[in-house]
Structure 1
Amino acid sequence: MIGLIGIVIIFVMVFGGYTLAGGKMGMILKALPFEMIMIGGAAVGAFVISNDMSGIKHTLKDMGKVFKGTKWKPDDYRDLLCLLFELIRLARANPVGLEAHIEEPQESSIFGKYPKVLADKEAVALICDTLRSASMNYDDPHQVEEVLEKRIEANMHHSMHGTHALQTIADGLPALGIVAAVLGVIKTMGSIDQPPEVLGKMIGGALVGTFLGVFLAYGLVGPFAGRVKTVVEEDAHFYQLIREVLVANLHQHAPNICIEVGRQNTPGQCRPSFSDLEEALKAAKQDAA
């Protein structure tokens, strides 16, 4: 919703201000389809050239994040902490019993309580792989933390592909607008024998290309890239939380302490209060019993 509001504000302020200043929309609307074909078509073509099919799909999917916002909400962070608490308690009390849950998480009664976390393949893989490694005596906290950090960084790099692709388009749009404007000037020069009022309209139409390229770059595509980057960075906190809790577990802290470490490393806007999390953990204990 906030993304739509931003787009409306941009259009109202830019074109509303132009109209209030005495500008006529007719010239812009007449030239817009042709300029959009040249500028938009060239931008799409450049985008296709610079990305493979996977990158194209990834970028188009990421554009939805501008309007949807972050994937992980405050309740999801609380559920993640409860899930990790149950798994850590089971690993301490019955390491053999844990094996079934981390080998077949889709069939696990513990993972099944938290369907949104279970639906995220990377989160589940991060949890299960780390707990499996610990059960195989690969439990040096510093080494595991380094491995998890590199894995999260690699995933982050992949997730940032969409924002990089959009920013590349934004950087090129002003130049493509100039290309369209130059073509308009060339067209005008071919009609230099026309009266001034005709030449004025032709030059005005050519300048629409420059306007459109800059407007799309800094009013839409650039902000889209920035918003996607912000959402990706915010969602990455979810995976970093997994790392913090599991590394704390390898330090042999009590399960409650491990979860408190995770709670305090949760972003402020998503962090559950101590009392709310305590109630959720009590409920998890009762269900396990």
Structure 2
Amino acid sequence: MIGIIGIVVIFVMVFGGYLAAGGKMGIILKALPFEFMMIGGAAAGAFLIGNDMGGIKHTLKDVGKVFKGAKWKAQDYRELLCLLFELIRLARQNPVAIEEHIETPESSSIFSKYPKIMKDHEAIDLICDTMRSASMNYDDPHQVEEVLDKRMDANMHHALHSSHALQTMADGLPALGIVAAVLGVIKTMSSIDQPPEVLGKLIGGALVGTFLGVFLAYGLVGPFAAKVKGATEEDAHFYQLIREVLIANLHNHATNICIEVGRQNTPHHNRPSFSELEEALKSVKDAA
């Protein structure tokens, strides 16, 4: 919602200020379709050249984060802590019983309680792979921590591809606007014998290209890239929480301490209070 409000504010302030200063929209509206075809089309073509099909789909999907924000909300963090609590408690009570849950999480009675987390393959794989390693006696916390760090760095690099692609497009748009403006000047020079009022409209139309390139770069695409990057980095805290809890588990801390480590590492605006988490964990124990 805030993204839509931001876009509306940009258009109202820019064009409202232009009209309030006595500007006329006629020349802009006349030139806009052709200038947008050149600038927008060239930017889209450059985007296709610079990305493979997977990157293109990833970027188009991530544009939704501009309007939806980060994927993981406060409730999701609370549910993740409850899920990890159940898994760690079971692994310590019955190391054999935990295997069926981490080997086939899609049919696990524990994982099925948390459908949103179940749909995220990276979160499930991160949990299951790490707990499977512990069950295979690969339980040196420092080695596991190093492996998880490398894995999460690689995932983060991939996740940020969308914001990098959008920022690259934003960086190129002003130059493409100049290209469109130069073409407009070339067109104007072919009509140099026309009266000033005609030349003025032609020059004004050419300058629409420069305006459009800069406006799209700094008013829309650049902010889109920044918002996608911010949402992606915020979502990374969800996987970081998994890392912290499972590493604490390998250090053989008490189950409640492991979960508290995770709670403390939750972003403050999504962090459940101590009493809220205690109530949620109590519900988990009662349901077991």
Is 1:125 the counterpart of 2:117 in the alignment? no
Partner Cα separation in structure 1 for residue 118 and residue 197 of structure 2: 66
Tell me what 2:182 maps to: 182
Normalised TM-score (structure 1): 0.99
Q: What is the RMSD computed on CA atoms of the aligned residues?
A: 0.4
Q: CA deviation at 1:29?
A: 0.4
TM-score normalised by structure 2 residue count = 0.99
1: CA distance between counterparts of 2:117 and 2:244? 17
Cross-structure match for 2:275: 275
The correspondence of residues 143-154 of structure 1 with structure 2, limited to 5 A, is 143-154=143-154
Partner of 1:24: 24
Shift, 1:198, TM fit: 0.3
Distance 2:146 2:75 in 1: 28
- Offset at residue 228 of structure 1 (A): 0.1
Q: Report the Cα distance in structure 1 between the residues aligned to 2:235 and 2:9, rounded to whole angstroms.
A: 27
Cross-structure match for 1:8: 8
Query: In the aligned structure 2, how far is the partner of 1:8 from the partner of 1:85?
Result: 44
**Once the two structures are aligned, what percentage of the paired residues are identical?**
80
Q: Which runs of 4+ in 1 moved over 3 A?
A: none
Tell me the equivalent position of 1:139: 139
Give unpaired runs (5+ residues) of structure 2.
none
| SS across alignment from 1:270 | coil
In structure 2, the partner of 1:211 is: 211
Distance 1:127 1:196 in 2: 71
Paired residue secondary structure (2:96) = helix
- The amino acid across from 1:4 in the alignment is I
In the alignment, does 2:99 pair up with 1:88? no
Cα deviation digits, residues 37-86 of structure 1 (max 9, x gap): 00000000000011111111111001011011111010000000000000
- What does 1:40-59 align with in structure 2 at a 5 Å threshold? 40-59=40-59
Partner of 1:266: helix, strand, or coil? coil
How many Å separate the matches in 2 of 1:17 and 1:149?
A: 49
Instruction: Report the count of equivalent residues.
Output: 288
Per the alignment, residue 238 of structure 2 pairs with 238
Q: Distance in 1 between matches of 2:251 and 2:261?
A: 12
State the Cα distance separating 1:287 from its structure 2 match: 1.2
The separation in 2 between residues aligned to 1:212 and 1:52, in whole angstroms, is 27
Give the letter aligned to residue 158 of structure 1: H
Q: CA deviation at 1:286?
A: 1.2
Structure 1 position 139, deviation (Å): 0.4
Return the alpha-carbon distance in structure 1 between the equivalents of residues 132 and 206 of structure 2.
Answer: 64
Aligned-partner residue type, residue 187 of structure 2:
K
Instruction: Kindly state the Cα deviation for residue 275 of structure 1 after the two structures are TM-superposed.
Output: 0.3
Task: Give the CA deviation at 1:6.
Answer: 0.3
What displacement does 1:276 show? 0.5
Aligned to 2:286: 286
